[in-house]
Homo-oligomer: A and B are copies of this chain.
Amino acid sequence: MTDPVQDHIQPGDGKGGLAKLSVRRIPIDMHPDNTAYLLRHGNGYSAEQFQALRKIRISADGCEILASLGLVDDERIVGPGEIGLGEQAFRRLGLAEGNQVHIEQARPPASLEYVRRKIDGEVLSDSEVSAIIHDISRHLYSPMEIGAFLVACAGFMSTQETLSLTEAMIDVGNRLHWNSPLVVDKHCIGGIPGNRTSMIVVPIVAAHGLICPKTSSRAITSPSGTADTMELLADVDLSEEQMSNIVGKEKAVLAWGGRVNLSPADDILISVERPLRLDRFEQMVASIMSKKASAGSTHLVIDIPVGPTAKVRSQSDAVRLRKLFEYVARHLGIVIDVVLTDGSQPIGRGIGPVLEVRDVMAVLRNEADAPDDLRDRSLLLAGHVLDFDPAIEGGRGYARAYELLASGEALAAMERLIDAQGRKTGKLEPGRLRQEVTAGQNGRVISIDCERMARIARLAGAPMDKGAGIDLLHKVGAEVRAGEALYRIHANTKSGLGFAADLAGENSGYVIG
């Protein structure tokens, strides 16, 4: 069925032309949506007619955007003969105020026809997936249309479609080049609170001398992302040129990936996947691999934690996911090593930026009370990364990683990285409001729920409130007595502490048996 007629309607301007209006910037930011504003009356045409089908196309020589239309009843906001553009729309159109533009009902992007075919259960070709991703990256899709595409894909997606999706997302973004045959990276699929291994693995690998330009995300629904935690120590908002200079000097970088426009379509998809909590393996692989290929990685270690409250909950699911990573990586020409790890509880003690930095630096400094599990996991992954080096023989990567950490070379590499990126000198203090959550009985800690710990830390205020989070005082296997503190919630606002404590009160996330 093809009936996009509803979006071709033209205004009855009585003169037989398209509406032509003068651009006015409206100081309203409806991020991430483009919005435009028209006076409801007194324009000589029916503004309601434009609004009836939601999106209008605003265009002038060489530029165009689609926007949702608001009707305005106050000439002080937008006047006759004017089209108001909200902050997003104004920036994306890129014209100064006063420029003349045309408006018309937006035609739905042609690729929506492929989305409908996907909804009908068909398998899409490379070029069809590519057309969808190109249109999404040009902001031609509404969140509703993106949601329709993602839900249809969640129903069924072939391995080839997953590869097409990955390649299309790489195509529409920037791509970093490092002029080296060996550019290593590691990535964890997430879901395990406190799992800040990147901030230990990268200095180890840099100390060894491999090129490791690590770009990380900020937390969207978790209590912290590597970028959120790293930025307590150093500037992470780096330009491509800055990253390139730092990598040239230090072999590595620990930057926020948002600045350098890697796989921007992925960011748009994620903005819809998260609120809908879509977390299909196919979408996860396409997301991660498009980011890594765009970042110029040639050799990649993927960490898949498996556990009852992790993202991957069974060994068979983990193997399926591993094979999907391997398939896509092979076709992208990336050497991949997928490592299945224990995802049965949080890693380290701190959850939330400040508390995580404390754990990371304790490991790098070889402090006696540094969390064993964070150190062991980091060494395991760093060993896998170092094994990519042809000079490392017969699986000696782990031993080499151990040596670099123990000798203080990894710490020195981290300090150089921090200086190169721009050292932050603020004092790192856990949230000053605290509440302890205690054991209800004597016994041994049987399990700790990763999801619940993440939610409690998030409610306490992490990652926006850098000091908020959870400090785990006992891990799985520990003996505890009734009334003894299991963990401490930190926050800087009473409401944050209150919400977190309420959730912990419902269910602490610990099973004692």
A positions within 8 Å CB-CB of B: 1-3, 5-6, 8-18, 27-31, 33, 35, 37, 40, 46, 49, 51, 53-54, 68-74, 76-77, 86-87, 108, 112, 115-116, 119-121, 142-148, 150-152, 154-155, 220-221, 272, 274-279, 451, 454-455, 458-459, 461, 464-465, 492-499
Contacts and interface: CB of A to CB of B under 8 A. Distances in A.
A70 B5 contact: no
A27 B74 contact: yes
B3 A221 contact: yes
Contacts of A11: 495
A464 B49 contact: yes
B147 A465 contact: no
12 contacts: A6-B220, A8-B458, A13-B493, A27-B77, A28-B73, A29-B51, A29-B70, A73-B87, A108-B275, A144-B272, A151-B151, A151-B152
Contact of A148 (B8, B49, B147, B274): B147
Contact of A144 (B146, B454, B459, B495): B146
A30 B84 CA distance: 13
A328 B272 CA distance: 34
Contacts of A155: 119, 121, 152, 155
A3 B465 contact: no
A221 to B, nearest CB: 4
A451 B493 contact: no
Given A71-B29, A152-B151, A16 B493 contact: yes
A146 B151 CA distance: 11
Given A17-B495, A29-B72, 14 more contacts: A3-B454, A5-B458, A8-B499, A9-B464, A10-B461, A12-B464, A12-B493, A29-B73, A30-B35, A30-B68, A119-B154, A144-B144, A147-B148, A152-B155
